[in-house]
Amino acid sequence: MAEQFSFKNGLSEKALELPLFSTASQILTPSDSRIANFIAENLEDFMEMTISDLSRSIQVSEITISRFCKKLDLPGLQALKINLSKELNASNPFISADLNIQDSCKEITEKIFANIQEGLKNTLSLLDFAALENAALLLANTPRILLFGFGNSATVCNDIATRFVRLEKSCEVSCDPHQQVTLASICKENTTVVAVSYSGASTELVNSLKIAQRQNLKIILITSHKNSPAAKLADVVLIGIGPEVKHNSESSVSRLIHLAIGDVLYTRISFLQNHRFEENMQKMREAISTLKS
């Protein structure tokens, strides 16, 4: 089952290049998108505008602009300017290097690598490190982990499970909605759910997380959309976002960035439980050596 996603409500390509807007794209109204598109197209002028100036330029009310800021978890226009400025200073607004059928192997490689690099930079500016630490502590103290994801997100779940076994965690990956709800409904409170979803909008995943929540399970979500339906159910939300590239319809860049977030969690927990980790690694090396000729 491939995870489906789409950008809605008329955000322009330039607006989608700004992580602050793209991560909230699912909850923006057409009026919100007009505001975001205008800002993205007129960044320098916007930084000098008052809310009245912006209202007149876009022909939307000041109340609509204030509500737009609050949807981005910002108190007002000045906070929006500050956050956009941070994004632009951390990394120029990234323009995805779109692939086309005439590209040589070298050009394809250069574009994909550039997009991965840009996505990692932007994710670094967006990540909530307190949330990342909280997720690491939750996972360090739980004996059992359920990993839920569909399509490309399932590959991230498999990678996390493969590595976390070394930390003495019982890990079970499920990419089947029936199995997910079964697992979620019978688990006890010492289980943590890690859900991976680019959009955070899959109805099957949201249903599984609702059942996990009713069972009082802790939920960690790795996603690219902080205001998604799945994010509203999670105890910890970790945002990773990459430029989405034409001809890569399943968000391959974000998948690699979600893998990187998994690597950060794995490394942090291995440091928190270093003695046990070193013992397990030694046992693992000895066991693997018996398989070599």
pLDDT digits (tens, 9 = 90+) for 60-119: 999 999 999 999 989 899 889 888 877 665 544 444 567 778 889 998 888 888 888 888
Same domain, 265 and 134: yes
Q: Are strands 170-174 and 144-148 parallel, antiparallel or unpaired?
A: parallel
What's the pLDDT at 9?
Answer: 55
Q: Percent of the chain having pLDDT more than 70? A: 89
Same domain, 156 and 80: no
pLDDT at 145 over 90: yes
- Nearest Cα to Cα of residue 146 among 205, 203, 200, 198: 205
What's the pLDDT at 85?
Answer: 78
**Residue 194 within a domain:** yes
Strand partners, 194: 147, 220
- Rounded to 10°, the helix 252-272/129-140 angle is 60
Same domain, 140 and 267: yes
**Residue 96 within a domain:** no
Domain extent for 64? 13-90
**Residue 55 within a domain:** yes
State whether the Cα torsion 139-196-251-201 is positive or negative. negative
Q: Which of 39-53, 96-110, 190-204, 277-291 has the lowest mean pLDDT?
A: 96-110
CATH number of the CATH domain containing 29:
1.10.10.10
Same domain, 200 and 273: yes
**Residue 112 within a domain:** no
Same domain, 142 and 277: yes
- Nearest Cα to Cα of residue 17 among 115, 131, 162: 115
Which of 65, 90, 115 finishes a domain? 90
What's the pLDDT at 241?
Answer: 80
Q: Do residues 233 and 206 touch, judged by C-beta distance below 8 A?
A: yes
In angstroms and rounded to an integer, the radius of gyration of the C-alpha atoms of the chain is 21
Same domain, 54 and 164: no
Whole-number Å distance between alpha carbons of 60 and 35: 8
What's the pLDDT at 131?
Answer: 96
Same domain, 38 and 169: no
Given pLDDT bands bounded at 50, 70 and 90, which one contains residue 3?
A: very low
Which of 41, 63, 90 finishes a domain? 90
Same domain, 78 and 158: no
What's the pLDDT at 243?
Answer: 63
What's the pLDDT at 231?
Answer: 92
Higher pLDDT, 198 or 204: 204
Same domain, 272 and 179: yes
What is the residue whose two structure tokens read 């959309």?
Answer: 225
Query: CA 87 → CA 8, 11, 112, distances in Å?
Result: 22, 18, 21
Average of per-residue pLDDT across 157-182: 95
CATH number of the CATH domain containing 194:
3.40.50.10490
Strand partners, 104: none
What's the pLDDT at 225?
Answer: 82
pLDDT digits (tens, 9 = 90+) for 216-244: 999 999 998 887 889 999 999 999 886 65
Given pLDDT bands bounded at 50, 70 and 90, which one contains residue 293?
A: low
Same domain, 23 and 166: no
**Residue 106 within a domain:** no
What's the pLDDT at 226?
Answer: 81
Same domain, 26 and 136: no
Global pTM reads 0.74
**Residue 79 within a domain:** yes
pLDDT at 250 over 50: no
Higher pLDDT, 211 or 85: 211
Query: What does the DSSP 8-state code read for residue 286?
Result: H
List the beta strands (DSSP E) in the chain.
144-148, 170-174, 191-197, 218-223, 236-239
pLDDT at 185 over 80: yes
Q: Do residues 212 and 219 touch, judged by C-beta distance below 8 A?
A: yes
What's the pLDDT at 8?
Answer: 46
> How many structural domains does the chain have?
2
- Give the contacts of 202 (CB within 8 A, at least 6 positions apart): 3, 4, 150, 230
Which of 118-127, 148-157, 284-293 shows the highest mean pLDDT? 148-157
**Residue 103 within a domain:** no
Dig out the tokens for 84 from the structure: 């956009």
**Residue 147 within a domain:** yes
Which of 69, 90, 111 finishes a domain? 90
Same domain, 179 and 236: yes
